[in-house]
Structure 1
Amino acid sequence: MAVTLKLATSLDGRIATAGGESRWITGAKAREAVHCLRAEHDAVLVGIETALADDPELTVRLPGYAGAQPARVVLDSRQRLPPDGKLARTAREIPTFVVATGEPDAALVAAGVRVLTVRAVGEDRPELKTVVESLAAEGLHRLFVEGGGQVAASFLRCGLVDRLEWFRAPILIGGEGRPGVGALAVAALAQAPHFRRTETREVGDDLWERYARG
């Protein structure tokens, strides 16, 4: 399984204001690049908090695009994904997975959502190595992780991120903003996840930095 983590942040690494405003930190050209990246992957993954806050489609929306849509994956231990939300409503058209730690919810299954049950760790969170293995067993080998901050940190802590696609907008939000990466429990610099920059390009007013695991 190849795992790519996408971050779209301010210069100081924030994905939203303290009040949760996040649309749009990056500009239209950066968002178009993200859609191109989605098209290169088998599945797009978010956490349940992102799914609840944004009610996203997680599809490739590019002019003239006629290729396959990536599967959508939501880390959702308690299966809080609304059956009437955009993801569940389109689950019969685009493969949609909820990764849970309990028995499948009947309403989600009835909507066409595939519920993958994995073992829990910590505060009833899906164990990510098992998640990756379960998705690979479904034929999903290129995973695009889109957030939010806690999900990003969880994948980084587990050493599962192979590539970073980082879009930085030329704004500053400050320390009260919501971080793009949550706590990593790094006590010494030697413990920090290391990446090497492979490319930098401008996309409109934003900067797109690409990294590979170092």
Structure 2
Amino acid sequence: MEASVSTTAAPASAQLQHAMRRALTLAANGPARGPHARVGCVLLDAHGEVVAEGWHRGAGTAHAEVDALSHLAPGEAAGLTAVVTLEPCNHWGRTGPCSEALVEAGIGRVVFSVEDPGEHSGGGKERLRDAGIPVEEGLLADEVEEFMRRWLVAARLQRPFVTVKWASTLDGRAAADDGTSQWITGAAARQHVHEQRAAHDAILVGTGTLLADDPSLTARGDGGELLADQPVPVVVGERAVPEGSRILQHPHPLIEERTRDLSAVLADLFAREIRSVFVEGGPTIASEFIRRGLVDDYLIYLAPTLVGGSRLALGDIGVETLDEARRLRVTAVTPLGDDLAIVARNQSGSSS
């Protein structure tokens, strides 16, 4: 029998909001990288008291709802309210569907924040409603959308979330006219870059940067040690990677994309379960990502230095008149020694 419930978000009680924020906190315990969403779940009784909690710990482990249910004896979940950050999944993957687990446990009500955009994993709310379980959606959706932004962008666009990074002087130069660029920014900013590398699934450069700089593309600590999380190195371009290149000593095998078609590159990386890419090439590849509308976050390190000359941080991005300018919204400004790290995104959506 189908439950008679509204398909729009109803006004949430303070207890439900508190539970959803707790579920967000739990979700943050999960791995931030990789193909799986960070999800948290809180089970409440009729008085709004927390009975059990759970979160997803990564590929092959119990999803948040199943993890929360695992803390209860059979029958103890009957009639409880499940508060979940993401719509319960409805497919068999490495684990079974959460919607079925909630139905079998006798859950009395489900409140989730964001709909699962997955082609195969979505549809949990319909399964729950078909089983007669009331479902409410949209609770604290803005907060949860922001928390899950990288994963949601990748899932909705079927390509990795793209961060384009560059460092420049105050007058927008990436190097002096003789080509020298080490170092525009100070030690604190450069260490911040390594932390951002470690926070992404992959790091991408073009063959021009590879041949000019011979980068290792690893994420390192203050003392030069390798950090625990390393991005997969990706080189884009038609020229071959020379033998003896430092990138070939990277902890992860190199992915060579012998094409200039960036959309095809991103589609291939998505198929490899890469969900976030840190673009750290020079002006040519950064400009091409922007020109093609493939940037979700801009990360600019700005140094209080003037050098003048022709070595601009960006080249042609497809803007011929001011009316065509890419309008961005700054979301964070972080002082790093004498430098600034500025994070921005497109005003009209997730990508350029």
Report the TM-score, using the length of structure 2 for normalisation. 0.51
Aligned twin of 2:324: 191
Aligned twin of 1:83: 243
Aligned twin of 1:108: none
- Give the SS at the match of 1:16: coil
Match of 1:129 among 249, 263, 282: 263
Aligned twin of 2:282: 148
Deviations 1:70-117 (A, max 9, x none): 1011112122x21111112x15x312111104xxxxxxxxxxxxxxxx
Match of 1:72 among 228, 233, 244: 233
Structure label with greater radius of gyration: 2
Q: How many angstroms apart in 2 are the aligned matches of 1:53 and 1:18? A: 15
Q: How many angstroms apart in 1 are the aligned matches of 2:253 and 2:327? A: 33
Aligned twin of 1:98: 256
Between the aligned residues of both structures, percent identity stands at 41
Q: How many angstroms apart in 2 are the aligned matches of 1:17 and 1:62? A: 27
Q: How many angstroms apart in 2 are the aligned matches of 1:95 and 1:38? A: 16
- Give the SS at the match of 1:15: coil
Match of 2:334 among 160, 183, 201: 201
**Which residues of structure 1 form unaligned runs of 5+?**
102-125
Q: How many residues end up aligned between the 2 structures?
A: 186
Deviations 1:94-153 (A, max 9, x none): 12111104xxxxxxxxxxxxxxxxxxxxxxxx1111111111111111000012001011
Match of 1:44 among 190, 199, 203: 203
Q: How many angstroms apart in 2 are the aligned matches of 1:162 and 1:212? A: 6
1:49 alignment partner AA: G
Report the aligned-residue RMSD.
1.4
Q: How many angstroms apart in 1 are the aligned matches of 2:184 and 2:227? A: 28
**Which residues of structure 2 form unaligned runs of 5+?**
1-159, 348-352
- Give the SS at the match of 1:143: strand
Aligned twin of 1:27: 186
**Deviation of 1:65 (Å):** 5.8
Aligned twin of 1:122: none
1:153 alignment partner AA: S
Q: How many angstroms apart in 1 are the aligned matches of 2:343 and 2:209? A: 23
Pick 1 or 2: higher relative contact order, CA cutoff 8 A, min separation 6: 1
